[in-house]
Structure 1
Amino acid sequence: MKRLLSLLLPTLTCVTAVAGEDVLISERHDLSRRFYDEKGNYNMSFYHINDVHAHLDEFSSSGLDCNATKEDCFGGYSRVRTLINKGRKIYQDSLFLNVGDEFLGTDFFRHFKGGSKIAETLNLVGFDAMTLGNHEFDLKDDKLGEFLEVINFPVLSANIQSDHPILNKTIKPYHIFKEHKLAVIGVTTDETPSISQPGPGTIFHDPIKTIQDTVDHIRSTTMINRIAAITHIGYEEDIRLARETTGLYLIMGGHSHTLLGDFPGSEGDYPTIQRNKNGEEVFIVQAHRWGEHLGYIDVAFEPDGRIRSTHQAPIRITEEVEQEPELQAKVGSWRSEFEEENRKIIGSSSVVLDNTACKTTECVMGNMVTDAIFESRVKDNKPGDAIPAFAFMNGGGLRATIDPGNFTWGDLGRVSPFNNAVVEFDITGQQLWDVFAGILQRVPQNATLHENDLENNKTLKVSSFVQVSSQIRIRWKPSRDGQSIPPPPPAPIGTLTSFTISGKPVELYKTYKVLSIDFIANGGDNFFVPRLPRTTYVEQLDDALMYYIQKHNPINARIEGRLSPELSPEGKNSQFESRSSSSDKSVVTAVVVTAVVVALLLA
């Protein structure tokens, strides 16, 4: 093993700028040979990737299309294919696993109205297995079924139960790789019904309980002791999974876009080691997002399935990695089909339309989009027509930041890639108060449990923050004194104290006409539980945004204090003032520093 590792690991260490020792280090580390040794220990390699979100081609540090003459470019499946092909020449015993959320994020998904090009790409790259992410359900079960029928490798999610014929036929709980005497289990976040659009007959069971049940089943019905999991449930849930189960020692995760390893901005070790219920070590890895990183871990299994040692060197994929010509030619031909359309200019912006804060507080992009939703309904009003009270939507539905300058059709798709519709509905003031109080508490008011939550007696959680149009102001008392920036879910934000519409307190017994998007009206992010029984279609969100951008060209949206905690005792709202100043100066936040040079796996 040392000779073989010497071919790969020094290169990977250069690739990722990993400092120091790249051997991680089970307490029982003493293995020195690959494959089986005289004690029955078995060594194999895992490559893994997660949350690519339709980034089939290279991209900039912000995740948008890359101009290689002006900026550094990252990722792209043609580079991933280069790395995998070369790695497999060294380690024929390796597996390449996909941890979900291939759907949604670029025009390779939006323009082709689903996952057809993604499926073709994944087949060419040569995955050994995949689990499903929540975004695979964004276009509902039928579209996912079309994708699954094309995929030529196992698709695994043990906690999904579906009456959809294609999903029922193609999604398996686990797969046994006989040549390795290894089982791989897949699971998908059970929040999927709240944050995506699976059909009513597609049920998501508790992933942790499901994993334990599946591990027990495999161990009791087969001779398999080596078990790994690909888990689209998030890093914190992976840690909980490791602590609350037995018999599982390797977890390859996704969903939370977590960067692990010795990189700037890393959130933990690669791998992260936890102790299970028996006090044994469990190894957790994840590979960030978009295909900017490729996970790599080499594992030595003991005969009972525990892990004796690991070597690892997660790879940051930069322009130094060669693009595999066959796949890159395909990707380029697909891109040419939508590039001309995407270059069409529909308007411009004089400010940064920032989405980075939209999931936790008022954001510039949220203000623009909700104002556009409001105007979509009133633009054709005639004298005497009813005027809606306001518009709102989920911050998680705003997917990109747009810099100052021209606003193109392609930008529109990156901001709003879900093909959402604007809808109108009637709702009482009391119901509105309850909805916004629930958003701030992260728990739907007067909510009933989803069917698939009943078995676990779970409390539903609101899974996104809200964005609102200019007609309303929401104030709350923070859950913690002095907390100006709302905490991330599931921690409560605060208690609703003031709700005004056009400067007047909401009237609890009055019925209001309100606008949102179909995702929210249908129960998305658990704003409305149960979902709204009746809505009226207005128009597609893309059309609403195009009209607004053209009418208000150039866009000059800003933070206005639509959503903020109560004033401090000094009479100043520090959150509002500081963010307003930043917006006025058009400061770009969350700049990714690129300082790592990637080397090829082989010369």
Structure 2
Amino acid sequence: MPTVTPITLAIAHINDTHSHFEPTPMSLAVQGLDERIYANVGGFARISSVVKSFRQETQADTDGFLFLHAGDCFQGTLYYSLFKGEANATMLNLLNPDAMALGNHELDLGNSAVSRFLDQIEFPLLAGNWDVSNESDRKRFPVKGKKQLLPYDPDKQIANVLLKKMDDQTVAIFSVALDKMADIAMPDADTPFVNAKQTIINTVSYIKREFGTHHIILLSHLGYEPDLKVAEEVEGVSVIVGGHSHVLQGDFTNVGLGDMGPYGRLINDTLVVQAGCHSFALGKLIVTLDEQGKVSAYSGSNYLMLGRSLAMDASWDQSLPEEAFKTAKEYLAQQPNVLHCRGDESIKQVLNARYKPAVEKLKSDVVTLLPARLRHLRVPDEKGGSEIAPLVCEGLLFAARQRGHLVDFAIHNAGGVRVSLEQGKLTAAEIAGRLLPFAIDLMLYKPTGLQVMQALEGAIDNAINNGTEGTGDGSFPYTAGLKYIYQCEMPKGERITTLQYQRLDGEWLNIERDSTYTAVSSAYTSQGKEGYDSLKHLKEPPRSIDVTLSESFIEFARTKETLSATSMVLANYVPCPECKSDGID
């Protein structure tokens, strides 16, 4: 084996781009101006330009260059709602990363979406703790055996490794994602995720033994805190390039974005980096590894990528006065963590010709009018619950019944609804791009009354950490055609004290524990995620009605000249006095 010697690498890295191919309007503070201004930040065309220039700048002074994506390119914008993974494959191929990690949102629609993505990409997709070895051969869109996938090797109990030659040295790259993937995404049941930490330990040992290199990069989709823990507890990883938690490392108080600590966290000779989200930032790292693969020196930063345009508001309707524009331009040009750059024209051309026309059409499609602002929050507060989520549930019921399904009620998790809605016109773009950006199918399923009761209680317990360590407040259930009372101080299993559904004639009836009902939910909820565990034990599996969340709400909203939160809709959640006094949040 060749002798391992010190090596200096230039690494450009992004993560959690979530289909943000275009620049994102971002509010920035500028010294010398009383009000914040807006800039269009990032986007794939600027990423491409900055990566190319960084590669050229570092070519003479480093031993090699890597461009890495730490996962979660799916979901997030109209480009995904309309084109799914196909647009991401095209745009990422143009960026030409050396490797990408599999993220949890790549699996929101199961293995089939990843399978089609793998057929289209021209770069490796690393998924080192995803065991696909027992995937059924009868599937129409399997992931097993795909050329671009580097999954778990169950025989060796390691991640498959990507090797990159840098002159006479070898750099080994592998990836892991959350091992509890089935709790937050929808990998097929025959393709489980194995323990991430043990996979890292085994793979590092294997790389050193079999390939004779200590220069090891972990492309991680675990999250920032887990990455820091890996650096602390596992020896032998040189650099962790991370994603999932959207952490923008660095001090950005100079532009009003806060301080997440220094760029690069060095723990026990392992360097951890992460670069925000939504394509607005790019990490530029130069790191030197000694012969043992330990970090001996590093420099770099996350950079916001700006163009020429500045405005007073996010809609770009109000331009900056000339003097304010000059002040902002001069100030931003002096900031060390801001790059002013022109976007790659070839990427702009593909986006504008192939995908943008359909997106622009949705932006001009007015679906209904909102006479007043509709508030969304996940867990009800002293003012009440979400005014949006129950209407989304009405959309689920409407779409199912329009397709001839006899549905009793709808349930949807609060986290699947993303924003409040402002008074005025509501467009299809706002619904599909911001309100309900997760392109997930609606599913019919037949739970018993007891399973409904258990699912509601489990979801609320999970959301408010009542007797359990929950996964987040996004599990809180909103409903249509179903109302309940949850009493948080009752014993586990008895917290749903009232549970009724509404017949088509408007009459409310008690849910019987042993009776079977027909419900509609998103694929995410109907699979028993995040506290809805009882739905994992249905007699029949849920089945798709071939319509997505956003499509169902658009259909429903088109039937209304105006859309308001009515008293009937708001009554779908009836909080108990104990919950209100405890201050659920």
Class of the TM-score when normalised by the shorter of the 2 chains: 0.7 to 0.9
Cα offset, 1:568, TM superposition:
5.4
Q: Which residue of 2 aligns with 1:549?
A: 557
Q: Which residue of 1 aligns with 2:122?
A: 152
Letter in 2 for 1:468: Y
Q: Which residue of 2 aligns with 1:519?
A: 524
- Matched residues in 2 for 1:342 and 1:140: separation? 29
Cα pair 1:157 1:187 within 8 Å, conserved: yes
Aligned residues: 492
Question: 1:350 is matched with which residue: 336, 357, 371?
Answer: 371
For the residue of structure 2 that corresponds to 1:297, the secondary structure is strand
Question: 2:476 is matched with which residue: 443, 466, 483?
Answer: 466
Does 2:166 correspond to 1:188?
A: no
Q: Which residue of 2 aligns with 1:426?
A: 446
Q: Which residue of 1 aligns with 2:161?
A: 174
- Matched residues in 2 for 1:547 and 1:283: separation? 49
Give the 3 Å change call, closer, same or farther, for CA 460–265 of structure 1 in structure 2: closer
Question: Matches of residues 45-84 of structure 1 in structure 2 within 5 Å?
Answer: 45-61=10-26, 71-84=38-51
**Over residues 548-603 of structure 1, what are the superposed CA-to-partner deviations in whole Å (9 max), with x where a residue is unaligned?**
3133442223894755875359x857569xxxxxxxxxxxxxxxxxxxxxxxxxxx
Cα pair 1:476 1:566 within 8 Å, conserved: yes
Cα offset, 1:108, TM superposition:
2.1
Question: Matches of residues 96-175 of structure 1 in structure 2 within 5 Å?
Answer: 96-112=67-83, 114-162=84-132, 163=135, 164=142, 168-172=146-150, 173-175=160-162
Q: Which residue of 2 aligns with 1:589?
A: none
- Matched residues in 1 for 2:344 and 2:190: separation? 41
Cα offset, 1:524, TM superposition:
4.2
Question: Matches of residues 430-445 of structure 1 in structure 2 within 5 Å?
Answer: 430-442=450-462
> CA RMSD of the aligned region, Å?
3.5
- Matched residues in 2 for 1:440 and 1:462: separation? 10
Cα offset, 1:186, TM superposition:
1.0
Cα pair 1:159 1:187 within 8 Å, conserved: yes
Does 2:305 correspond to 1:285?
A: no
**Over residues 504-549 of structure 1, what are the superposed CA-to-partner deviations in whole Å (9 max), with x where a residue is unaligned?**
8754344444332233223444624525324466562444312331
Question: 1:339 is matched with which residue: 356, 360, 384?
Answer: 360
Question: 1:94 is matched with which residue: 49, 57, 65?
Answer: 65
For the residue of structure 2 that corresponds to 1:477, the secondary structure is coil
- Matched residues in 1 for 2:351 and 2:377: separation? 28
Question: 1:271 is matched with which residue: 264, 273, 278?
Answer: 264
Letter in 2 for 1:118: N
- Matched residues in 2 for 1:560 and 1:575: separation? 17
- Matched residues in 2 for 1:478 and 1:322: separation? 58
- Matched residues in 1 for 2:402 and 2:389: separation? 20
Question: Matches of residues 442-461 of structure 1 in structure 2 within 5 Å?
Answer: 442=462
Does 2:423 correspond to 1:404?
A: yes
Letter in 1 for 2:147: K
Question: Matches of residues 466-505 of structure 1 in structure 2 within 5 Å?
Answer: 466-469=476-479, 471-477=482-488, 496=495, 498-501=497-500
Cα offset, 1:208, TM superposition:
1.4
**Over residues 233-283 of structure 1, what are the superposed CA-to-partner deviations in whole Å (9 max), with x where a residue is unaligned?**
111221232233111132111112222211234444422344xxxxx2332
Letter in 2 for 1:127: P
Q: Please, which runs of 5 or more residues in structure 1 have no aligned partner? A: 1-38, 63-69, 275-279, 444-458, 480-492, 577-603
Q: Which residue of 2 aligns with 1:482?
A: none
Q: Which residue of 2 aligns with 1:206?
A: 195
- Matched residues in 2 for 1:86 and 1:99: separation? 21
**TM-score, length-scaled by structure 2:** 0.75
Give the 3 Å change call, closer, same or farther, for CA 156–98 of structure 1 in structure 2: same
For the residue of structure 2 that corresponds to 1:364, the secondary structure is coil
Cα offset, 1:99, TM superposition:
0.7
- Matched residues in 1 for 2:576 and 2:42: separation? 44
Letter in 2 for 1:115: G
503-512 or 168-177, larger mean C-alpha shift: 503-512
**Over residues 75-110 of structure 1, what are the superposed CA-to-partner deviations in whole Å (9 max), with x where a residue is unaligned?**
210000111111111112321100111111223222
**Over residues 323-344 of structure 1, what are the superposed CA-to-partner deviations in whole Å (9 max), with x where a residue is unaligned?**
1111111111120244224421
Cα pair 1:138 1:197 within 8 Å, conserved: yes
**Over residues 131-157 of structure 1, what are the superposed CA-to-partner deviations in whole Å (9 max), with x where a residue is unaligned?**
111222234333322322332222212
For the residue of structure 1 that corresponds to 2:577, the secondary structure is coil
Cα pair 2:42 2:280 within 8 Å, conserved: yes
Give the 3 Å change call, closer, same or farther, for CA 572–100 of structure 1 in structure 2: closer
**TM-score, length-scaled by structure 1:** 0.73
